[in-house]
Chains A and B, each alone.
Chain A
Amino acid sequence: MVSQPEINELNSIASQVRRDIVRMVHAVQSGHPGGSLGCTDFFVALYFKILRLNPSFNMDGINEDIFFLSNGHISPVWYSVLARKGYFDVAELATFRKINSRLQGHPATEEGLPGIRVASGSLGQGLSVAVGAAQSKKLNHDEHLVFVLTGDGELQEGQAWEAIMYAAHHKVDNIIATVDYNGQQIDGAVDNVMSLKDLKAKWIAFGWEVIESNGNDLEDIINKLEHAKTLTGQGKPVVNLMRTEMGNGVDFMMGSHKWHGIAPNDEQLASALDQLEETLGDY
């Protein structure tokens, strides 16, 4: 169980992260605020409560939990949380999507940004990479876990199901995948574009242990991810179907696919920032 003061502290970090996201995207008038805001609570819970991390970044991630972002377009939330966690200076958030930056539009390793272990953005690839990294941990007798986040629309990619099938077959039980189950994708509702139908039944049928969570409730996320940890090591991979609301925390961005990949204007930025308390100081 997580205490109320802890929840309050994490909520205050989340508020700052949401400010970072809208300011980063506004500054370059490009990027993906909707999914980033929807997953803010998950990232804050993950990095400030769930992951067991070494003090400094190492590509091999030996003896620590590691995280992969498959839906790389929500890079703003990841960059903000990595910076707020101390992986790099928060001032660097101002370089997002600009020339000569380590903060590429989609996460990349080439510029050496601490915290990133593989490029992502072309969808459907992250589950495979995470499963491979989890098997590498097993070969190394490393008891730590691999976490990965994938979009729900992203599960329309066939490769995702190749990885899902493989992980169950090979009993990769040191991985916790999370689906950002916001029901939205670029062209509209997932149900209208290409329905996933009974997603829970699909994961179960493929041989995974399935849990469900509310991705915009920090307490629920933390409790569910802690529970997910207890399900590892039992011969089955674990997936967390996490309901989120795209644009969560900014009223005019919430619940619509329209803010998937567009930036707020000056007026919209001001309105968004009015709703989000500056808790840790803007970058």
Chain B
Amino acid sequence: MTKYTFTEKKDTRSGFGEGLLEVGKKNDKVVALCADLTGSLKMNAFQKEFPERFFQVGIAEANMMGLAAGMTIGGKIPFTGTFANFSTGRVYDQIRQSIAYSEKNVKICASHAGLTLGEDGATHQILEDMGMMKMLPNMTVINPCDFNQTKAATIAIAEHHGPVYLRFGRPSVPIFTPENEKFEIGKAIKFIEGSDVSIFATGHLLWHAIEAEAILREKGISAEIINIHTIKPLDVKAIIDSVGKTGCAVSAEEHQINGGLGDSIAQALCRNLPAPLEVIGVNDQFGESGKPMDLLDKYGLGTDNIVAAAEKVMSRKQLQKI
């Protein structure tokens, strides 16, 4: 069995920055737009290398979405960059009409998502973005788990035709996925094989799920760890195959439980293979200022919470059998 460890921590937004530079070198149709957060989004390298293909928009996100939609006409592949809050809620109607409904090949790249934004607090800690984006027809929604996967996802979405929402974050987190692994949109990745409970994790919480697996193993519980990096389209087959074997599931995401990955998995299970599910996420609350990992613990998204959810859902499985 592969044992996941890490030697280095890095922020996922830097993975985006490196990926963007790489696609910029590969494809001269790639252009980038940023709303006064070039450093925060790690878009400086692209800006320096391709100044003629980088567009500073100022603090005007609605305009940025419209500009990006317009730039696709003539064949450009625009990547927009700002915080996740300003990439979604602030510009929902612009994305809905000018990008999603109009089927424009825009890549909406969103940093500082979720509680792990940390000290800036709830005004900036968007926890509803994946829900909003997954509801839009034509939209693909991706939430990678570490630096390497974010870089690979950035490269992959440039080759995918259609609107994409790519969500990543601010804090340094363990790098544990292989370097230069090809990213397949819509294809879940099985990290650890198990037989007692399926744990489906996305984004930063995948590492916590891997930590939880080790604790569960000590307790004699065999957890299967699956990374759902693509929230939409959801890899329903991977979910059904795993739960068909384990009989119960936990989902884990740095997002509201209303409208997030857990909801999508619940729907997939209800329609295909009803089974007990515990959902790890923020429960209908706004966040607050604090250190990223402290916030995950306070809001019930830490490693221990995943362990407890796995044990709880397994007990429900046994009840169901009775």
Contacts and interface: CB of A to CB of B under 8 A. Distances in A.
By secondary structure, the B interface counts as: helix
B70 A131 contact: yes
Given A125-B97, A128-B65, A132-B68, A166 B73 contact: no
Nearest to B31: A139
Contacts of A211: none
A166 B67 contact: yes
Contacts of B40: none
Contacts of A66: 73
A136 B93 contact: no
Contacts of B178: none
A176 interface: no
A119 interface: yes
Contact of A159 (B31, B63, B101): B63
B125 to A, nearest CB: 25
Interface residues of A, number: 40
A163 B57 CA distance: 9
A118 interface: yes
Contacts, number: 121
Contacts of B63: 128, 131, 159, 162-163, 166
A145 to B, nearest CB: 13
A110 B62 contact: no
Interface stretch (A15-23, A54-62, A77-85, A259-267): A54-62
A125 B94 CA distance: 7
Contact of B98 (A118, A136, A142, A162): A118
A225 interface: no
Given A136-B75, A139-B53, A142-B74, A129 B101 contact: no
B52 interface: yes
A262 B57 CA distance: 39
A158 B52 contact: no
Contact of A166 (B52, B60, B94): B60
A117 interface: yes
A113 interface: no
A132 B70 contact: yes
A133 B70 contact: yes
A133 B97 contact: no
A110 B101 contact: yes
A129 B66 contact: yes
Interface in A153-170: 158-159, 162-163, 165-166, 169-170
Given A128-B62, A131-B67, A159-B66, A139 B74 contact: yes
Interface of B: 31, 52-53, 55, 57-58, 60, 62-76, 78, 93-94, 96-98, 101-104
What are the nearest 3 A-B pairs in CB distance?
A128-B66, A132-B70, A136-B74
Given A61-B74, A118-B104, A132-B73, 14 more contacts: A109-B101, A119-B101, A128-B64, A129-B69, A130-B70, A131-B63, A132-B69, A135-B55, A137-B74, A158-B62, A159-B66, A163-B67, A165-B58, A169-B58
